[in-house]
Amino acid sequence: MMRNEFRERVEQLLQQKEINENSELSHLFRLAIQNLDRNEKYQTVMANLSQGLSLYLMTHHYQAPKSVIDFGLWIAKAPSQERGRLAFLQMLAQTLQGFR
């Protein structure tokens, strides 16, 4: 996942009325944008947001807008997707090395 894609998804969530009316959720997402603006690593921002969302869900009996749940699932899958892409590139590089 790229930094821009992460930022776009957070900004899309912030445009939703349901999230803006919830001060806790809007604070979590706005804080993520602020941290990105301070040039923090997006992986760190994403991890902090994931922790914040997990805590929010636990304290609110796992009740949240569907878009927030979907976003949480998306960022939970992101690290394994990145590793999968990297593994493919490593395999390709090893194959190409064999042709030398």
Q: 47 lies in a domain?
A: yes
Q: 36 lies in a domain?
A: yes
Q: 34 lies in a domain?
A: yes
Question: Rounded to an integer, what distance in angstroms lies between the CA atom of residue 59 and that of residue 40?
Answer: 27
- What's the average model confidence in pLDDT over 1-19? 92
If pLDDT is split at 50, 70 and 90, which confidence band does 94 have?
low
pLDDT of residue 97: 61
Tell me the pLDDT tens digit for each residue of 31-82.
999 999 999 998 899 999 999 999 999 999 989 999 999 999 888 887 555 5
pLDDT of residue 100: 52
Q: 52 lies in a domain?
A: yes
Q: 80 lies in a domain?
A: no
3-class DSSP state of 40:
coil
Total H helices, total E strands in the chain: 5, 0
Pull the structure tokens for residue 94: 């090893």
**pTM of this structure:** 0.77
Comparison of pLDDT for 35 and 94, the residue scoring more: 35
Please name the helix (run of DSSP H) or strand (run of DSSP E) that holds residue 68, with its range, or none: helix 66-98
Comparison of pLDDT for 9 and 92, the residue scoring more: 9
Domain of 70 in residue numbering reads as 3-75
- Residue 51 sits in a domain of what CATH number? 1.20.1440.50
Question: Rounded to an integer, what distance in angstroms lies between the CA atom of residue 53 and that of residue 98?
Answer: 46
pLDDT of residue 76: 83
Q: How many domains does the chain have?
A: 1
